[in-house]
Amino acid sequence: MATRTAARQRAEAAAEYDAFLAQCPSRELLARISDKWVALVLAALRTDGSHRFGADCAGTPRPMRYSELSRLLAGVSQKMLTQTLRSLERDGLVTRTATPTVPVTVTYELTDLGFSLHEMMRGLKTWAERHLDDVHAHRATYDARPD
């Protein structure tokens, strides 16, 4: 009987992931990355800092301080931003670097894994911005229908 390495066992298990099945562990990750603050943090962490309507969050990867992210993400509470950043760090999507200054400077930056997800989130953000008027028009038509 041949023995399998741990890496081989993980690869075989990953080949069997199917998010349509209720017990699939990939659902937990899907739930995490579908959160609006996760999507916006991931989009924000790779920007050139210029945010205007229609901007696609392009630019070179760069670290951002907590306060920069907080200002950029209008409406996010301190608690929610902290929780989001911690969960992204735990999942390996973001790195946190503390520099010993007075006060301590903390920056967040996308990892390679985070950058791969950023590309999709940027597309989702752009789609939402471009098609919001269409969705509003469809909602109005739907809501005006007689029951």
pLDDT tens-place values along the chain, 147 residues long: 567 787 777 666 666 788 888 888 888 888 888 899 998 999 888 665 555 444 445 556 688 999 999 999 999 999 999 999 999 999 999 999 999 999 889 999 999 999 889 888 888 888 999 999 999 999 999 999 998
Question: What does the pLDDT read at residue 89?
Answer: 97
- Quote the pTM value: 0.74
**In this structure, are residues 12 and 91 in contact, taking their beta carbons and an 8 Å threshold?**
no
**Which residues are paired to 105 by β-bridges?**
99
